A and B are shown apart, each in its own frame.
Chain A
Amino acid sequence: MKAVNITQPCPTWLEVGRLQDIPRQGARVVSFEGENIAVFRTTDDEVFALRDRCPHKGGPLSQGIVHGRRVACPLHDWKIHLDTGLAVAPDQGCVARFSVRVDGDMVYVQSPSSVDGD
């Protein structure tokens, strides 16, 4: 009756903090078990989380300028879609993204150990 997928580990969630801890049009670095996650907040208070490594040469995306649902990597100006993790054409590449939940003003991000790598 109920299909249970036993190969998929149960996701673990990280409590990142309050929404207002993340600057609008900005990001915070969430550091967890040696891995950096960039948690972005857009003008419209949408929150997205990506691995903090640009698909180009590993630049810290958390340090980029957030505009619309995009971030511009600070090292060589690739633009990355926050919602898909894909590079904006014509650049090609993809960065891992993590699920985000916002409850009231608390922000949760799915832990990296529970999602597949890039």
Chain B
Amino acid sequence: MNKEHLIVIGNGMAGMRTVEELLKLDADLYQISVFGAEPHGNYNRILLSPVLAGEKTIDQIMLNDEQWYSDHAISLYKGQKIVGVDRMRRRVWTDEGISANYDRLLFATGSDPIILPLPGSDLPGVIGFRDIQDVDRMLEATKHLRHAVVIGGGLLGLEAANGLLQQGMSVTVIHLMDCLMERQLDATAATMLKSSLEARGVQFSMAAQTESIRGDRRVEKVCLKDGTEIPADLVVMAVGIRPNIALAKHVGLHCERGIVVNDTLQTFDPRIYAVGECVQHRGKTYGLVAPLFEMAKVCANHLARIGCNRYQGSLISTKLKVTGIDLFSAGDFLGGNAAEELVYQDAGLGIYRKVVLRENRIAGAVMYGDTMDGSWYFQLMRTATDVSDLRENLLFGQAHNLGDSGHGPEQRIAAMADDAEICGCNGVCKGAIVSTIIDKKLFTLDDVRAHTKASSSCGSCTALVEALLASTLGGDYSQATDRKPLCACTPYTHDEVRATIREHQLKSIPAVTQFLEWSTPDGCNKCRPALNYYLVCAWPGEYADDYQSRFINERAHANIQKDGTYSVVPRIWGGETTPTQLRMLAEIAEKYQVPTLHITGGQRIDMLGVRKEMLPKVWGDLAEAGFVSGHAYGKAIRTVKTCVGSQWCRFGTQDSTAMGIQLEKMTWGAWTPHKFKLGVSGCPRNCAEATIKDFGVVAVESGWELHVGGNGGVKVRSTDFLCRVATSAEVLEYCAAFLQLYREEAHYLERTAPWIERVGLSYTKQRIVDDQQGRQQLAARFRDAQRYAQVDPWAERAAGMHAHEFMPIRPQKVSANAVPVAAGE
């Protein structure tokens, strides 16, 4: 069967990213041809600025060389401009007369730099800043010419000015406004930027209007309206870009400022798609790569006929790629009109930050000097997080707010040595990450995770890896979109999936994946455990757990160890035990020759090294001795750590041990989005470390203080104080309500600490403390669910449930001819 033919017009960043995404989804669907007007393979246009500044070479910025095209059986026609499209006959042709038929056509023609129609703007020596040819011409000019004038003090103009300066030219920037980069910066940041560029030697003509460019055979000077004349051997026009829609218009595609597309990146001609800067989507055009890459992903999804992804527009942030100048801007950074502005400025250190808030949410930010936290603000902005609780320290950055056991802000990413370890889990160093980003042409965090494993485990180094991406790529790079899909099988977010499960009464994993049109036949190892949990939580007692969608630890109810054996941790209620219990544990350990016993960090005893087939037997004996599963393996209630409290301790104010045991008896067996740990201390000396638990209780004379959202693991976070209550019955009610809120609203694998940071403590307080009726309903739902959850999984399996899980098959050997031959062999 003949494959359909996909033709791509434009060999640039958006077009080729779409092809790459398409190949990932389905490499065999199309025969692909690419026509590019430029005489090159596909290169990273963003990095032209560092090339101009002499920090990179053209070779280093190639993304896909010709080998890549031939490896993927793509016909590349470089240096070939498409000049006509016959939409009736589905045919394109180039200026050199090559023509080809298409089944689908993709416009990715980018933009053109705007060249102001001034007298003299057609003189030799006047150029734009868009492609390799422009950079070549500028570099050629730097060899024997002295004076450069850049018209336009925006992002591109300043990068051009800096590059030309680095190459030894004297540079004047002419800017129409009295603030540089007025579309990205407020007056303060713009002034700081201007003075540091001036300190490097760039000269500025601000609030200046160019009247003409003059010269005999080539450019000699630039004349301003006010009569000033500036000598110029080279003029770079960087006053903006205009979507390149000439061809699309010519062939009758509906265009406004750009080629108009819908949420699937389809133009008004259903055979024709468009991506990149040439596109106008929901009235907006874009000039940065992050949104273009998001478009590419969606477009590829539809070209691959999966058809379940929509592009809904992007929020963008900007950084300037001038080495040594750190600048970040996003959203509505000007404020005014019912907005609040938080400002931090240290002129001495050259640091400025402004965060604009609307209704307690970040609407925009500008940063100058230190931009490490830019991605954090941007994240809070995209997720529309209520920042009331962070407000006090918001300007001091993320490290200040989250507590930090590891990577402090003092670790300046650029200053780090190449052998500095970035990812502790996988032992990946800075140098390895940087060289992989360059060699494998990576743009996204996910790519870096896949190729280097860095940040793919605990994720605590994510910010560092993102910073490395940004500093290696120089400019913006594609970040996760604001609506992060649950996994690669679906475009829907955790919240959307959960809401759909409830609304449409979906009660099995296939029901969900079919209803929401998953792109894979049976999901993957990321979404299936999440869906299983969401269903368990939504339909207690009704949903039949799909144990094949659980990670092995939860399927086997024990923790897998590096050698394939398992560990067994029985519950020791509240950490309190008896000689009889200990004796029984000792006997069982001896009977099964358990190699290691370890007193855990959670106040219980871990029996390590049990072979899988022995598990049901060990559990049977434990059950007989009165033990139940400790769920040390599950996204579930783990331990309740307690201290001895008023029973013994001279400072104890309440019976913390009894309180802990009551809490554990109430909560054990519950499945949660991530593991959930509790602690109860008998006084504020807090020996049970309750303030780093998911739910912590600290006894005081007058009752109990309740704390939530602590974490003692990868990133230490101390709890937020929720409220104080008088009685132990209230402790139980608040705990049940908090647990249920977390169970119902957190994303799978989101622990309480990041969850609270996402939704805000105020929100939690409002639901648990202020809303009495709501609290009681939450607690009641929790208790109801517990009726079905508190069944000891070990006892069930000791009695024979899922026996096949634990027993290896010992096969019969049969002779070859006894085995029927499969058809076709």
Contacts and interface: CB of A to CB of B under 8 A. Distances in A.
A25 B548 contact: yes
Contacts of B500: none
B184 interface: no
B525 A30 contact: no
B640 interface: no
Nearest to B822: A101
Contact of B520 (A13, A32, A67, A79): A67
Contacts of A44: 521
The residue in B524, B549, B552, B555 that gathers the most chain A C-beta atoms within 10 A of its C-beta is: B552
B809 A13 contact: no
A36 interface: yes
B562 A57 contact: yes
A25 B509 CA distance: 13
B552 A74 contact: yes
On chain A, which size bracket covers the interface?
35 or more
A13 B814 contact: yes
Contact of B552 (A23, A63, A102, A111): A63
Nearest to A21: B804
Contact of B814 (A15, A75, A79): A15
A66 interface: yes
Interface string B16-35: 00000000000000000000
Given A21-B809, A32-B811, A65 B564 contact: no
A16 B809 contact: yes
Contacts of A43: 521-522
Interface residues of B, number: 39
Nearest to A32: B811
B522 A31 contact: no
Contacts of B555: 63
B289 interface: no
A117 interface: no
Contacts of B810: 30-32
B564 A66 contact: no
A12 B551 contact: no
A94 interface: no
Interface string A16-42: 110001011110111110001001001
A64 B450 CA distance: 19
B598 interface: no
Given A14-B814, A64-B525, A67-B523, 19 more contacts: A12-B813, A12-B814, A13-B813, A13-B814, A13-B815, A23-B548, A25-B548, A25-B549, A31-B809, A31-B810, A32-B810, A44-B521, A59-B564, A60-B560, A63-B564, A65-B551, A74-B551, A90-B450, A101-B820
A75 B549 CA distance: 16
Interface in B534-563: 548-553, 555-556, 560, 562
B524 A67 contact: yes
A13 B821 CA distance: 11
Interface in A66-103: 66-68, 70, 72, 74-75, 77, 79, 90, 101-103
A31 B523 CA distance: 29
Contacts of A57: 562
A79 to B, nearest CB: 8
A72 B525 contact: yes
A103 B808 CA distance: 21
B819 interface: yes
Nearest to A30: B809
A112 to B, nearest CB: 11
B812 interface: yes
B450 A13 contact: no
B160 to A, nearest CB: 36
A58 B818 CA distance: 33
B685 interface: no
Contact of A63 (B520, B521, B556): B556
Contacts of A25: 522, 548-549
A109 interface: yes
A10 interface: yes
A72 B523 CA distance: 12
B528 interface: yes
A86 B237 CA distance: 52
Nearest to B524: A67
B72 interface: no
Contacts of B521: 43-44, 68
Contacts of B520: 67-68
A44 B522 CA distance: 10
Contact of A60 (B525, B529, B564, B822): B564
Nearest to B548: A25
Interface of A: 10-17, 21, 23-26, 28-32, 36, 39, 42-44, 57-60, 63-68, 70, 72, 74-75, 77, 79, 90, 101-103, 108-109, 111
A56 B562 CA distance: 12
B400 interface: no
A49 to B, nearest CB: 11
A70 B523 CA distance: 11
Contacts of A32: 810-811
Interface in B647-672: none
A14 B815 CA distance: 8
Of all A-B residue pairs in the complex, the 5 with the closest CB atoms, nearest first, are A14-B811, A65-B525, A72-B525, A31-B808, A63-B552
B525 A29 contact: no
A32 B813 CA distance: 9
Nearest to A14: B811
Nearest to A67: B524
Contact of A36 (B451, B525, B551, B808): B808
B349 interface: no
A24 B808 contact: no
Contacts of B818: 13
A12 B654 CA distance: 70
A11 B814 contact: no
A12 B815 contact: yes
B819 A101 contact: yes
B599 interface: no
B1 to A, nearest CB: 23
A65 B528 contact: yes
Contact of A13 (B556, B562, B819): B819
B566 to A, nearest CB: 10
B199 interface: no
Contacts of B815: 12-13
Contacts of B550: 65
B816 interface: yes
The residue in B451, B552, B811, B815 that gathers the most chain A C-beta atoms within 10 A of its C-beta is: B811
A11 B811 contact: no
A30 B548 contact: no
The residue in A17, A25, A39 that gathers the most chain B C-beta atoms within 10 A of its C-beta is: A25
19 contacts: A12-B816, A13-B813, A13-B815, A13-B818, A13-B819, A14-B814, A17-B809, A17-B811, A26-B548, A28-B804, A29-B808, A32-B810, A44-B521, A63-B564, A64-B552, A67-B524, A68-B524, A72-B525, A111-B813
Interface string B508-535: 0000000000001111110011000000
Contacts of B549: 25, 65
A4 to B, nearest CB: 14
A67 B555 CA distance: 15
A14 B816 CA distance: 9
A15 B821 CA distance: 14
Contacts of A26: 548
Nearest to A102: B822
B525 A67 contact: yes
Contacts of A70: 524
Contacts of A42: 522
A43 B521 CA distance: 9
B437 to A, nearest CB: 13
A108 B814 contact: yes
A34 B148 CA distance: 77
Nearest to A52: B564
A86 to B, nearest CB: 16
B562 A16 contact: no
Contacts of A59: 564
Nearest to B449: A90
